[in-house]
Amino acid sequence: METRDNRIRRLIYQSCYTGTRETDLLLGQFANKYLITLEDQQLDEYEALMSQGDQNILTWVRGDSKIPANLDGKVFSLIKDFKTTL
């Protein structure tokens, strides 16, 4: 079983290397700032988002397409709000 610390480290690493530079910067900085503060359920939400691929995440954050309802939760809202601070 993966420990919480290892899970957070893994997710931060994955966030920094998504495949698209813009998404790497957004998610990498977001992960470094917020993942340690998220509850386990929110980490599940983040991981589900990450599994959708960097191109999808980027179009959803930009508002170019609508995010599926099952992924549109607190964590996605945090990411969108974080994007406006960059």
Per-residue model confidence as pLDDT tens digits over 47-57: 999 999 999 99
Average pLDDT over residues 1-23: 96
CATH code at position 60: 1.10.150.250
66-82 average pLDDT score = 97
Task: Tally the domains of the chain.
Answer: 1
Residue 31: which domain range? 4-83
Q: In sequence order, what are the residues at sequence separation of 6 or more whose Cβ sits closer than 8 angstroms to the Cβ of residue 25?
A: 86
